[in-house]
Amino acid sequence: MYRICKEFHFSASHQLAHLPEHHQCARLHGHNYVVAVELAAPELDANGFVRDYHDLAALKSYIDTRFDHRHLNDVLDGPSTAEALARHFFDYCAGQWPETVAVRVSETPRSWAEYRP
Ligand SMILES: Nc1nc2c(c(=O)[nH]1)N=C([C@H](O)[C@H](O)COP(=O)(O)OP(=O)(O)OP(=O)(O)O)CN2
Ligand SMILES: [Zn+2]
């Protein structure tokens, strides 16, 4: 199996207001998010690609339009956890590119959450 991965970056604020008051993430704060999309295929296409990285430009546009410099509580229906974001971006990517196998979201350089069905 061949695998490729491409990262996308955006900055946004959020507040996990369902957490206890003493939890730091219950306060309004922001992150420089990294979204890593992984695609896989058993065979390469005629260009020698799983898929051309350039095809993923639609995700950059989606992120820039809907997520970058937004307040995530206004964008997502439920809590804006890294897990929920990973699922959201997975659903978007799987709808665009059938080779999508996982999406990973980092809020900090030391943590990530992944959705991989
Ligand atoms: N499983 C999850 N746990 C937490 C999430 C999450 O999305 N999934 N989110 C948060 C907060 O958004 C918080 O802002 C990030 O927490 P944390 O990684 O602890 O941030 P720090 O900057 O404090 O990280 P350090 O590495 O400890 O400096 C909380 N938990
Ligand atoms: Zn946070």
Does the complex come out with an ipTM higher than 0.90? yes
The structure's pTM equals 0.96
Catalytic-residue membership of 107: yes
Catalytic-residue membership of 18: no
Phi then psi for 58, rounded to 5 degrees? -60, -35
Task: Give the C-alpha separation, 102 to 38, whole Å.
Answer: 5
pLDDT in tens, the chain (117 residues): 999 999 999 999 999 988 988 999 999 999 999 999 999 999 999 999 999 999 999 999 999 999 999 999 999 999 999 999 999 999 999 999 999 999 999 999 999 999 999
Task: Give the C-alpha separation, 110 to 15, whole Å.
Answer: 19
Task: Give the C-alpha separation, 89 to 104, whole Å.
Answer: 9
Task: Give the C-alpha separation, 57 to 112, whole Å.
Answer: 22
- Any idea which ligand is nearest the CA of 85? 1
71 is in an annotated binding site: no
Ligand 1: atom nearest CA of 84 is 7
